[in-house]
Amino acid sequence: MDLRRLRYFVAVAEARSVGKAAERLRMAQPPLSVQIRKLEAEVGAPLFRRGTRGMDLTEAGQALLARAGEALALAADGVEAARAVAAGRRGRISIGYMFALANAVLPRLIPELRRSIPGVELHFAELSASTREARLLDRSVTVALCMPAINHPEIQVARVGAQPLMLAMPIRSPLSRLGAVPMAKLHGRPLIALPRPEQDPASSAVTALLRRHQVVMPIASRVETVHSAMSLVLAGEGFAILPACAKLGAPQGIVFRPLRDATDSIDVAVCWRRDSHSPLIRTFLKCAEKVVAPM
């Protein structure tokens, strides 16, 4: 079965004439006549009744016509859908993000995306840092919102903003009465730490900050996520040094205070596979920049 034959068939059926159909198809009449007869040979039955005033579908022809039109439309639609996906007008983008950014970014990011790419299905997944990396690599997420960026040769990174580091503590802590906490006050206090520097440069910003101010904080616990860190802070296990936006997801009873004399910040980045060329990624990046930069 050849789609061209079906197209010709439909044209002849609609024109009820080989000659008229040939004209509409911008071709000569004899080859069209030949193609129709070949189609009839392939089906094994006449599809048209030849009269002296044109052609007319037989019952078998009507049965074929009903499906042929749909098949043509479906094939055309398939090509169009592929083009739309390739152009980023349709399709889906799966977005991995971290808990700490959810409340700060998503409420503004989602409407922005809906405006830019209305035909695109959006998927969101809150993922830990290591899962974000794994799922970027296996393509089960298209882009990841990270803080800080993922460091991997296959993964491309674009910085879209930064978040100052702040001290998170229980409201009952005496330090919470200060407007800004001097670094020196942290010395010796227990720290809730995020993953090790070599796995996640996030905590390296914190260790660099402490080292520069010659502050030593014993590590009370290590946790995987910002969320866990805040739970432990609330439980009184210690202090955490977190990006400012985490405040928006913090439970009652935790307060954030700036660190006096410390302008350290941590980058917010969009990450994606180097070999993903979907235009949706560019669009997503633009939206993320617009939303994150002013924070």
- Residues at the contact surface with a second copy, assessed by CB under 8 A: 1-4, 6, 42-47, 49, 58-68, 70-72, 74-79, 81-87, 90-92, 275, 278
Pair 274, 156: CB distance under 8 Å: yes
Q: Does 68 bind DNA (CB under 7 A)?
A: no
Distances from the Cα of 262 to the Cα of 8, 189, 211, angstroms: 75, 17, 12
Q: Does 28 bind DNA (CB under 7 A)?
A: yes
Q: Does 4 bind DNA (CB under 7 A)?
A: yes
> How far apart are CB 204 and a second copy at their closest, in Å?
34
Three-state SS letters, 164-192: EEEEEEECCCHHHHCCCEEHHHHCCCCEE
Q: Does 30 bind DNA (CB under 7 A)?
A: yes
Could you list the beta-strand ranges (E) of 200-264: 219-222, 240-243, 254-260
Q: Is 269 helix (H, G, I), strand (E, B) or coil?
A: strand
How many residues at the interface with DNA, by CB under 7 A? 25
Q: Which amino acid is at 244?
A: A
C-beta closer to a second copy: residue 9 or 97? 9
Alpha carbon distance 125, 144 (integer Å):
9
Q: Does 38 bind DNA (CB under 7 A)?
A: yes
Q: Does 58 bind DNA (CB under 7 A)?
A: no
Q: Does 34 bind DNA (CB under 7 A)?
A: yes
148, with CB counted inside 10 A (0-12, 13-18, 19+), is: buried
Q: Does 45 bind DNA (CB under 7 A)?
A: no
> How far apart are CB 170 and a second copy at their closest, in Å?
47
C-beta closer to a second copy: residue 155 or 166? 155
Which listed residue (11, 13, 47, 55) binds DNA by CB under 7 A? 55
- β-pair partners for 49: 56
C-beta closer to a second copy: residue 198 or 275? 275
Q: What is the phi-psi region of residue 91: left when phi exceeds 0, alpha when psi lies from -120 to 50, beta otherwise?
A: left
Which listed residue (3, 31, 216, 293) binds DNA by CB under 7 A? 31
Q: Does 1 bind DNA (CB under 7 A)?
A: no
- State the residues that interact with DNA by CB under 7 A: 2, 4-5, 17-20, 26-38, 50, 52-55
